[in-house]
Amino acid sequence: MIDHGFSTFATARTAAPAAVLTATLGLAAASWGIAVWQMDGMDMGVATRLGSFVSFIAVWAVMMAAMMLPSVLPVILVLIRFGGSAHAAGFIVGYLVAWGGFSVAATLVHWALLEAALVSPMMESASVPLSAAVLAVAGLFQFTPLKHACLVRCRSPWGAVLNPSSATIAMREGFRHGAFCVGCCWVLMALLFVAGVMNLLWIAVIAAYVIAEKWAPGAKWFSRAVGALLCLAAIVVFGVGAS
């Protein structure tokens, strides 16, 4: 009886972290599935069909979950090991809340650009100066101390691990970590306004870049190299548009 009870307890302890990890992967996969489904339904009347401010927020929130959850999986694995599954689950909630806040801000910008006819109904830039400016700002931001400071904090899970693992504190740490990731990556998300907010290829490329920047060795130099390429792209886009 004692052995059976111990075995059940051990199985439960093993299953809980696995459930959190599976749920996270499932949420990321579902977000990608919804993004692809949204992409398949796009047409020139998309701005009208989305219909409301809340719908725009939902589009951005789904994209952010799809793009950012895979990049935070290493942190979640560390939290499951050192803080437990409840801590990891709370962290994920806080992390997504931070990106939800970004989605609201992105929607405000998106709405304003649509109203000003600076993006097309297909949600891509209709202005050469806008495209060049976004590329230039994205490139220059890669060289700033703010970018580096946020990237360092975004790469490290230890602040969340070392704090007590109550649900409230776990969510707070998830939000804090997410805020640093927003600070690190917000300008990369702005690139979606250049090639199309619902351009699946760009979404996948930016998501892959975010993962590489956060976890590859030599991230600082990698980030600056991409910054230089973005600045060069801005010059080319502006030059071609002016000719």
pLDDT tens column, 54-96: 777 877 888 888 888 888 888 888 887 777 777 888 888 999 9
Q: Average per-residue pLDDT in the chain?
A: 78
Boundaries of domain holding 200? 20-242
Q: Is residue 2 part of a domain?
A: no
Asked, for residue 151, whether it belongs to a domain, the answer is yes
109-123 average pLDDT score: 82
Q: Is residue 1 part of a domain?
A: no
CA distance 182 to 177: 9
Could you give the count of Cα atoms lying within 13 Å of 109 in the half-sphere of its Cβ? 18
Residue 7 lies in a domain: no
Residue 103 lies in a domain: yes
Most confident listed range (9-23, 125-139, 157-171)? 125-139
Report the pLDDT averaged over residues 165-186.
Answer: 87
| Structural domain includes residue 5 | no
The total of other beta-carbon atoms located within 10 Å of residue 155's CB is: 17
The answer to whether the CB of 41 falls within 8 A of the CB of 7 is: no
Task: Please indicate, yes or no, if residue 112 is contained in any of the structural domains.
Answer: yes
The verdict on residue 8 lying in a domain is no
Count of domains forming the chain: 1
Residue 122 pLDDT class (50, 70, 90 cuts): low
